[in-house]
A and B are shown apart, each in its own frame.
Chain A
């Protein structure tokens, strides 16, 4: 069986689904046998989900529109581009 340290090294690939079948099985077994790692991976996934949710919700800092002065500045920036 994998040690916790060995399992930890595989965690990104394990969650990405990028491990060969045998290693995936070893990780899966480890999570079922080790309470600490099962708890760790549960919280780890929650942290990832919370992070994603923080920038994906209705209150995300996506403005409805762009301030007019910024649109003017972007147009002026292009007009002043020497390559134009």
Chain B
């Protein structure tokens, strides 16, 4: 057997094993969905244990308080239980659960009191009278980074800077750039038109660029672009 054919065989085997893994995952998911539809208590607990960490992570990101995140967690699983009949399996169960969690977070945000937030106008692109780009003033309170950041510190700092964005901008950024929805899907979820979503997204990214400049200067930014 040549090396090439041996590698080919190995690739085929790993492909086959991947297919088997996916099939087995699909079977387990189908069985869980069936049991949930029958009202099985243990299936409900299995669902919470399997997808709870992801739901907690989504709620922690969208909502600013731990108490709200915990309430949203409960509302999400109740909504899943109530609507499992309507789940048509056009996406994976995980993606559907994530979507329900995001929807619950947005409902809670809309019901909540709007916090006083600072404007990002001074961080938006500026143009002269001929339409030529000129440097924006930037934030008055630029963060100072004294020492070299490790990856963990950098991620933490970036999360802090994203959380400084006003709510409308933060939400569109989460939906489009973190949760991976298309701009059109993000617009639908937020209940705004596509052009408004594009404008918000561009402003959010432009402001974030200004907020992250000290990090970009300090690190090599070796993240996938």
A-B interaction: yes
Which residues of A line the B interface, CB within 8 A?
3-6, 8, 11-13, 16, 34, 36-37, 40, 43-57, 59-66, 70-71, 73-75, 77-78, 81, 83
| Given known A-B contacts A54-B158, A57-B155, A66-B53, A71 and B173 have beta carbons under 8 A apart | no
In the bound assembly, the distance between CA atoms of A43 and B138 in angstroms comes to 14
- CB contacts (< 8 Å) of A40 on chain B: these are 125, 133, 209
Known contacts A16-B182, A40-B209; 11 additional CB pairs below 8 A are A5-B127, A12-B201, A44-B206, A47-B212, A49-B225, A50-B216, A51-B178, A51-B208, A53-B224, A65-B53, A77-B77
- CB contacts (< 8 Å) of A78 on chain B: these are 44, 77-78, 81
- The distance from the CB of B34 to the nearest CB of chain A, in whole angstroms, is 18
The 8 closest A-B pairs by CB, nearest first: A3-B131, A66-B52, A4-B133, A54-B158, A5-B131, A47-B209, A62-B57, A77-B74
B162 touches A8 (CB 8 A): no
In the bound assembly, the distance between CA atoms of A44 and B155 in angstroms comes to 17
B216 touches A47 (CB 8 A): yes
- The distance from the CB of B86 to the nearest CB of chain A, in whole angstroms, is 14
What per-residue 1/0 map shows which CB atoms of B17-51 lie under 8 Å from chain A? 00000000000000000000000010011001100
Tier of interface size on chain B: 35 or more
Contacting A at CB under 8 A, from B172-203, are 173, 177-178, 182-183, 198, 201-202
- CB contacts (< 8 Å) of B198 on chain A: these are 12-13
Is residue B223 within 8 Å, beta carbon to beta carbon, of the partner chain? yes
- The distance from the CB of B176 to the nearest CB of chain A, in whole angstroms, is 9
- CB contacts (< 8 Å) of B73 on chain A: these are 66, 70, 74
Is residue B130 within 8 Å, beta carbon to beta carbon, of the partner chain? yes
Which residue among A37, A51, A61 has the maximum number of chain B CB atoms within 10 Å of its CB?
Answer: A51
- CB contacts (< 8 Å) of A60 on chain B: these are 57, 155
What per-residue 1/0 map shows which CB atoms of B57-101 lie under 8 Å from chain A? 100110000000010011101100110000000000000000000
In the bound assembly, the distance between CA atoms of A6 and B173 in angstroms comes to 22
| Given known A-B contacts A4-B132, A55-B61, A55-B178, A16 and B53 have beta carbons under 8 A apart | no
- CB contacts (< 8 Å) of B178 on chain A: these are 51-52, 55-56
In the bound assembly, the distance between CA atoms of A8 and B201 in angstroms comes to 12
B125 touches A8 (CB 8 A): yes
- CB contacts (< 8 Å) of B212 on chain A: these are 46-47, 50-51
Which residue among B78, B133, B224 has the maximum number of chain A CB atoms within 10 Å of its CB?
Answer: B133
In the bound assembly, the distance between CA atoms of A21 and B133 in angstroms comes to 24
- The distance from the CB of B205 to the nearest CB of chain A, in whole angstroms, is 6
A16 touches B183 (CB 8 A): yes
- The distance from the CB of A25 to the nearest CB of chain B, in whole angstroms, is 19
B162 touches A63 (CB 8 A): no
